[in-house]
Structure 1
Amino acid sequence: MKTKIMKTWLLGLCLFLPLSHQGQISPKTIKGFPAHVLFKIDQVTSRIKLSEEKQIKLAKKIVSMDSLATLGFTKGETVAELKKKYFNLDRKALKDLLSAEEADEYFYQIDEKNRFLVALHQAARLKLEPTQVIQIRKENAVLDSLNLVDEVPRNAYCNQKLEPILDKKQYASLIFFLYAKTSLEETNKVWKKIQALQLIAPKDTAAVFKELLGFNLHKNRILDTEAQKYDTKKTDELRNLITYEKRPAVMFRYQILSDESYRANLFSTSIKYEKELSLSQTQIDTLLSKYKKLELTKLRDIYKKQAFNKANEYALFENSNIVKILDPQQIVQLLICKNKRNAGEMAIYSWGELEKKGLVKDLDKNATLKDFANYQLRYLVAVEQLRMNNNQINLFRKRDVELKKPLLLKQLDELKNVENNQRSTKNELKW
């Protein structure tokens, strides 16, 4: 049912933009009344269409209200009191001039955030029954009397009253409409960024845009932040879960390639270096799918307080799947890209330790650092290969790398072992 609702709204994108109901003041009305009266008539006709007959009735009503206001001045009434009585075109003033439907539309155009008025504005699309319309109008009258100024409590109040009036499909459609503009803006914002990276084939642009818009509509409907449907903690939890359950894969790909916020694992790292790995589209799609699945599993475990001691389980999922997605050459290239920076940092650290011990005299620093970094990189790659696939080939590969460890690094290991043994002996003597 939710899918059908979403498709209906996606097909009705024209409704995301406000429709103009502006009417014109008739020549007869213009000729018959002064400018200040016409200005007030325009407040109404700029929002809804009024027949000439109703325009003239409204003009006469305004003239009558002006006369009563003038009389009030002579009786010593304050300006504030008179404004309240005679200068606002409220429901009381328009009661005998507008039909119920015209009043609904007029006051919706004034207050498009009022959820009762939004429901009445969308009565035809929501397929409201006459009894539902009557109930909503009654609730809106109560809302007017409550004087709820702040938007969040007012929206929460409307939700509380609308849910029992509307069926589930109608209520979901209403919330979709409320967030239509916001969802479209969110989609357009990220769409420009995605297009800048040329991540979508021209033939797929319409379908992907529709998918992104559908995700934003779904997310905003569930969270309904403008009514604070959930507390902050629950809202964040739901937003994260919805993101990894429903967000289109192209959005994750964009975030990874743009170095925006994303979760690091073998799948996302592969996407980060997709050009270096020469990934096919099928590989990219599979990697993104596994990325979403892994991170969604982690989130669910965290929220259920079941993530403790599951690091090995997550690592097994990564390692067992990555070797199925990438070929051996791509695996090596991935691990080189992933560990290159770390290897360089380890080389610099080792040089510093050797320098402290006076073992770098007459050495070419740049050449030595390069030698250290190359070894550390080969070692890190071999370790991760063995972790991914614990077989004899990878075990021998790791041992072969260790045997070719630079002499200075071996010497540094021996010195550290001696220092550690001396430290242990001293501690034992203390006891």
Structure 2
Amino acid sequence: MTAVAVAVFTIAYILIATERVHKTIAALTGAGVVIALGVMDSDDAFYSHETGIDWNVIFLLLGMMIIVGVLRQTGVFEWAAIWAAKRAKGSALRVMILLTLITATASGFLDNVTTILLIAPVTMLVCERLDIPPAPFLIAEVLASNIGGAGTLIGDPPNIIIGSRAGLSFNDFVVNMTPIVLIELAVFTLLLPRLFRGSFTVDPERVADIMALNEREAIRDPKLLIKCAVVLAAVFAGFFGQPLFHLEPSLVALLGAGALVLISGLPQRDYLAAVEWETLLFFAGLFVMIGALVKTGVIGRLAKYATELTGGNALVATMLILVVSAVLSGVIDNIPYVATMSPLVAQLAATVGNESQAHALWWALALGADFGGNLTAVGASANVVMLGIARRSDHPISFWEFTRKGIAVTVVTIVVAAPYLWLRYFAFV
């Protein structure tokens, strides 16, 4: 069964990467094969927390997509697009820097997928107004979201898993992760002109048209905007207050979506038009294929082999975990990877006498998994959502168009993270 799980995942991944078959078809077919051949059964695929479809991710996406669909009817995205372009004085590079910094900051307090769902419509409209291709801007934003989300406990799902397993608090993440994230964002901002060279030419007439616009006139339905603001405030309060309310973010998003649909009075076609059904199905298929790798022990064995190579040296273990996590999280979703790797890191950390160095293993896992999500187009949930939005907006981004940029950013961020870990936890101990 192990060979079947590996073969199916490898073939499906190749088809997705080469775009010979639509990614949703490849993922669902792969999921169907592992179920049909008995590698997974219905309990494994639909009910298991370890191997099944992560319904929290699916329904969080669905709820936020519906909320965005209602919000789109107010004209607030047009308002934000005009505001951003005017603040940047029509400079495409300044627009990109502004939007990526906003995205990275928001990703520290919201999950990355929600941030991309909110920022992508604004980006599309800014680029439409300036008559420039939106693909470089969308790619830059999702790369920034994966970097910025690493800075806090709630910014990226792998961090939540790590915090729970290692007993690390919100403040622990702020003290240990936020400094390196700020450094990485500064480096990333300096990379943008070189990374997206040739993407910043704007027609001066377009700039003049933008500067002459009044963003307030873009708001089409002020009353609906107020309703959306109230519901969004409640949803975000639910996200932040999870320890108090004990509600999963997916339930909060669904409740918010239901309430907004109820009070908005919009027809079904308006709020369902923003739902990326193909993206949701792609995630379902991908989760099942990855679940087959988890069930057959493939991911666990890979992680165990990696830890055995450390030879008991905490620094070697830290660097190995950082690099291996970045590579594997770029190939498979970083959520199941971290869930599988966490027990092994816990065992390894228990053998390290110095508490600070033991924690360094966890920070290496978090940095590798979070930054590794940028490696390929399927390395993080936000990447897949962004590609779906771009395709539905008739600006498709290929697997390799994203991955070429993602590889460069991942290499740079990991190269910067390695000396940070060494200097902070090993050099002066």
Question: Could you state the TM-score of these two structures normalised by the residue count of structure 2?
Answer: 0.21
Question: Could you state the TM-score of these two structures normalised by the residue count of structure 1?
Answer: 0.21
Which one has more relative contact order, counting CA pairs under 8 Å at least 6 apart? 2
